[in-house]
Amino acid sequence: MESLLNLLKILTESDIDFVIIGGFAAMIYGSSQVTQDIDLCIAMNPENIEKFRKTLGPYHPVHRMTPQKLSFLKHPEELKGIKNLYVKTDLGVLDILGELPGVGSYSEIASRAIDTEFLGHKVKLVSIDDLIKSKKIVGRPKDHATVLELNVIRERLKK
Amino acid sequence: MQPRLTRAEQEAVDYGIDLNLLLLNLELTVQQRIEQHQRALDMVNELKKNFDRLHGIPPESSQNSD
């Protein structure tokens, strides 16, 4: 059964370093918007992609953007030069980005990220400033609503 | 007397955001926010599934994500 909660659980139990970004990060900050996927920023290298294959393997991951829904476990064979991965699993959709366009690379995002905790595991969350910046860049109406909520949350965090 | 809203709060209210709901979220722990979101998502997906079934829409065609 689809469950982003369970998807996050298996990711936090893995040994993959990632930063939660996007709408799911906004929800963790307190946004009331409902999101259908988890977005992560990672150091996009063959070693990390293999770790994702191992972690997601039991949940039938496929490349959701390909019409044939190619298996993430077999495609691509060449793991170098990949920028983003858009994966659908039995637990839900997971978008894995190597950078946040207009905001920074994984190492820059990670250096500003904050630590939070989920089920006893430490989880890295994109900084609220980087999250607001990325949402403004994407610029869809729902992102505007999220930005307005995050502006209020940022004020509260500073108090 | 209502407390004066900050500029960010006023902008959010003007856009139609339920400030009270947002502030209630901030009282929750991270774990509680994730669990609450999952319950909301389950309900949205269930409603969407029922809508699709009633209108003869194939399951995959209405899927959407961020």
Q: How far does Cα A76 stand from its chain's mean position?
A: 20
**Min Cα separation B56/chain A (Å):** 22
Confidence bin at A76 (pLDDT 50/70/90): confident
Asked whether this complex has an ipTM greater than 0.85, the answer is: yes
* pLDDT of A38 higher than 70: yes
Q: Contacts of residue B18 in chain A, CB cutoff 8 Å?
A: 32
CA distance A147 to A131: 9
Burial A72-95 (b: 16+ CB within 10 A, else e): beeeeeeeeeeeebbbbbebbbbb
A141-158 and B7-15 are packed helices; what angle lies between their axes, rounded to 10 degrees?
150
DSSP letter string, A69-91: --BTTTS-S--TT--EEEEEETT
- The 3-state DSSP class for residue A138 equals helix
Q: How far does Cα B27 stand from its chain's mean position?
A: 16
Q: Between chains, do B37 and A145 touch, taking CB under 8 Å as contact?
A: no
pLDDT along chain B (66 residues), means of 10: 88 96 96 96 92 87 48
Q: Do A84 and A30 meet the contact criterion of CB atoms below 8 Å apart? A: no
* pTM score, whole prediction: 0.92
By a Cβ cutoff of 8 Å, what residues of chain A touch chain B? 2-5, 8, 22-24, 27-28, 30-32, 34-37, 39, 64, 93, 95, 116-119, 144-145, 148-149, 151-156
Q: Which of B11, B35, B66 sits opposite A35 (nearest CB)?
A: B66
* pLDDT of A93 higher than 70: yes
Q: Do A95 and A40 meet the contact criterion of CB atoms below 8 Å apart? A: yes
Domains of chain A plus CATH, in order, are 4-153 (3.30.460.40)
Query: What does the pLDDT read at residue B61?
Result: 52
| Antiparallel, parallel or unpaired: β A84-89 and A114-118 | unpaired
* pLDDT of A86 higher than 60: yes
Beta-bridge mates of residue A78: none
Q: Between chains, do A155 and B8 touch, taking CB under 8 Å as contact?
A: yes
Query: What does the pLDDT read at residue B17?
Result: 96
Q: Do A62 and A72 meet the contact criterion of CB atoms below 8 Å apart? A: yes
Query: What does the pLDDT read at residue B1?
Result: 63
* Residue A139 in tokens: 């610029």
* pLDDT of A79 higher than 90: no
**Min Cα separation B59/chain A (Å):** 14
List the alpha helices (DSSP H) in chain A.
4-13, 22-29, 46-56, 106-112, 128-138, 141-158
CA distance A158 to A128: 11
Q: Between chains, do A5 and B34 touch, taking CB under 8 Å as contact?
A: yes
